[in-house]
Amino acid sequence: MRPKSWSFAATLLLSAGVAGYAVWIYGSGDPQRAPVHPAMVAVFNAHRALITTHAVAASLALLLGPFQFLDRLRAARPRLHRTLGYLYLVPGVAVGGITGLLLSRYSFGGLVSHLGFGLLAVLWLFTGVMAVVAAKARRFADHRVWMIRNFALTFAAVTLRVYLPLGFASGLRFEDFYPAVAWLCWVPNLVFAEWWMLRPRAA
């Protein structure tokens, strides 16, 4: 299997796993299926519809995002590529970003978490808008750059689930490490995306 195929398969597997996890938790209406802080359960009960909408929209973006970077699909089925892109950006990113921004003020961990998740939502929406603007102007190279940035932010849903068990394994209290996770789940993703796009290419 080629490196691109490996990376696509791994990204899709991780994305599908986290999307399934979100549906399992929030679709059931019982966030206590996972080990969460009691304060987070209270927030879920107070904003059940908003959180469920965010989880479903973000899960849709996670599932569709990897397919946007399949060169063969884009070349062979451009209409399908555009349709999947529309579903990714509108019911996925737009709905997920708006609900995420609304929910950031209720995030566990105080002001640090509010700012971390709030900025994530703003950048998620901004990069999505810029991707659409570039595509409408037929600046497809710019469109791809903005989509890479956007999916790096979408993938925060996955990296957040990586940092949580690491935080628990560190021995720190949840309330001590979770505010850092609100930033760590997306800032390194974005830095990596920028590095990946700027790295020297083999001749």
Write down the mean pLDDT value for the chain.
91
User: What is the reported pLDDT for 27?
Assistant: 67
Angle, helix 187-198 to helix 156-169, in steps of 10 degrees: 120
| % of the chain surpassing 70 pLDDT | 92
Q: Is 46's pLDDT higher than 60? A: yes
- Kindly indicate the confidence band of residue 193, based on its pLDDT and cuts at 50, 70 and 90: very high
User: What is the reported pLDDT for 37?
Assistant: 77
User: What is the reported pLDDT for 160?
Assistant: 96
CB–CB of 174/167 below 8 Å?
yes
CB–CB of 121/100 below 8 Å?
yes
* pTM exceeds 0.75 for this model: yes
- Kindly indicate the confidence band of residue 34, based on its pLDDT and cuts at 50, 70 and 90: low
DSSP 3-state assignment of 128? helix
User: What is the reported pLDDT for 63?
Assistant: 95
Among 5-19, 23-37, 67-81, 113-127, the least confident range: 23-37
Q: Is 110 left (phi over 0), alpha (psi -120 to 50) or beta?
A: left
